[in-house]
Amino acid sequence: MTEPDVLGRALLKAFADRGYQAVFPDADTVAVTLPDGTQVKSDIREWRRYAGRNSMAALPGIAAEFVEKMEGDLRRAAQADAAPEGDLRLRIYTEDALPQEVWDTLVVRPLAPGLLECVVVDLPDAISPLHKSALGGMTADEAFARALARSVDGEPHHIMTRELYGVPLTHVSGEHRYVGAHVHVLKRYVDPAASPHGALVAFPIPELLLVHPIGRTQIFSAMHAMQALAARHVEVGEKALTPQVYWWRPGAYEALDEAAAPAGGGVPDLRPVRAEIDEENAKVSLYSDEAFAELVQRLLDERRD
């Protein structure tokens, strides 16, 4: 195992070779002084573990790669800070994809249990979360509203309905990672007057939003189909999000004007639901909140009448 001080010296030399002054405030952190005098810090624990598993001969190259990656990250951050309003988009992340310690620095908010929505800058070669320091004269809610408008109406998307196990599932899809933003405009795909119980929705991958209006088919059949398709996309998709299915319950958010709703700081009412179906023993276990359980019982009773 290569000694840590050898790793450190190799990394400091790599920074020096690129014209940077770097020091170690502690063994797990490197602090780099940029040309404008700004100092940035980076956690190097993973890098030390990776570098320590390699040979001494490979160490200079591994250190140089770390410096080049850090330069790229800093360059993209600078581009994001200077990005025009038209480059803002809304992207859905899982909670564990964005470390909680950075939430206070980014334009991000909870969307549903397990999910966050984040204002990002759509750069030519990257997607970079927007820092609050780059809001300029905008409020965070205004940034969300503008990012949402660009994601929903400024990006191409497709709508089709396909059946799985006899259950019609609406696919809102696109060749970009902002499709999940369409959850804010579900009234375009599900008429609350025709479907007062709302819909089942899922965000398996960034390029797809699955929707099934509740009431069109037997509820457990609908949940089974949604869960199966969401799980399949998570299994094979790139940068998959979650197989979790949510109950979209239309309410106060949907009563607002579509253009004004996002600027008010609200989000749709999305509640996680899950059904485990034991076909052999003809049993179903439902995992949800009390309101959804009561709705399921009413729907089942209506079908029996």
Question: Percent of the chain scored above 70 by pLDDT?
Answer: 94
Q: Is 31 helix (H, G, I), strand (E, B) or coil?
A: strand
Amino acid present at 235: E
- CATH 3.30.250 boundaries in the chain: 4-81
The more confident residue out of 257 and 94 is 94
> For the residues 162-178, what does the mean pLDDT come to?
96
pLDDT for 83 beyond 80:
no
| Res 261: pLDDT | 83
Residues 284 and 144: their CA atoms lie apart, in Å, by: 39
| Res 171: pLDDT | 98
CA-wise closest residue to 143 among 88, 98, 93, 78: 88
CA-wise closest residue to 222 among 273, 153, 178, 154: 273
Chain segment 190-217, per-residue pLDDT in tens: 988 889 999 999 999 999 999 999 998 9
Residues 24 and 22: their CA atoms lie apart, in Å, by: 7
Which CATH entry fits the domain spanning 4-81: 1.25.40, 3.30.250, 1.10.10, 3.40.50? 3.30.250
Chain segment 26-81, per-residue pLDDT in tens: 888 888 887 767 777 888 888 888 888 888 898 899 989 998 888 877 766 655 55
| Res 257: pLDDT | 86
Residues 268 and 185: their CA atoms lie apart, in Å, by: 9
Residues 73 and 216: their CA atoms lie apart, in Å, by: 48
3-state secondary structure 181-242: HHHHHHHHCCCCCCCCCCEEEEEEECCEEEEEECCCCCHHHHHHHHHHHHHHHHHHCCCCCC
